[in-house]
A = this chain, B = another copy of it.
């Protein structure tokens, strides 16, 4: 019998070694595997390279991992948020390395790793600072930059439900990076709200087939979601968006 479920978050993150590269799912707080990150903090692995869209919110989850100075480098598209004070402090103090990647290139490079693509030509970022040094090629009248896959030793993913084969479904926009990170890591560790019996997930609706999943742990409902104020993004000056609507400097994150 195949049974990828493990009994605790401690068991789920066992064996992650110092120096590992870890993808962490989530877009802000949605889809962030906070319980697994907490277990990783307790587990103690150090000198990590983290791949996430952001660089932590508030003082929990990824932000807490950063605060413990366990992260050598972070690869993300949008570190600066109104509640990214932990990262901000480390960055300004020169205590963390940042590699900034446009969000779509980040997603596609992660997908490429999972799909065995050696490299691909992307139009995103061409002519900007973020494509400096990259190979540029004109194809069919348009300029593209060559982008390489991003893979990882581990992926920590938060999904909604799983069966014991590791088949996953997500909830709403918490899906975000989960499916592509699950496929791009050597070992994929998933937390879910709920484990369900094999056969109860509709095969038409499985988003991540179990082939991409190594360990699954049920964490129940994520209580920390209630705690966090739902103030979302931040403008380019670092102010919460509610106050930013009048600044005229809004960008996407």
Chain A interface (Cβ < 8 Å from any Cβ of B): 108, 112, 115-123, 137, 139-140, 142, 144, 148, 169-172, 202-205, 207
Known: A139-B148, A148-B139. A169 touches B204 (CB 8 A): yes
| Tally of this chain's copies | 2
Known: A108-B115, A202-B205, A205-B204. A120 touches B123 (CB 8 A): no
Contact present for A139 and B119 (CB under 8 Å): yes
A118→B121 CA distance, assembly (Å): 5
A186 to chain B, nearest CB (A): 15
A120→B144 CA distance, assembly (Å): 11
Residues of B within 8 Å of A142, CB to CB, are 118
Known: A170-B204, A205-B204. A123 touches B116 (CB 8 A): yes
Contact present for A137 and B108 (CB under 8 Å): no
Residues of B within 8 Å of A140, CB to CB, are 118
A205→B119 CA distance, assembly (Å): 30
Residues of B within 8 Å of A139, CB to CB, are 118-119, 148
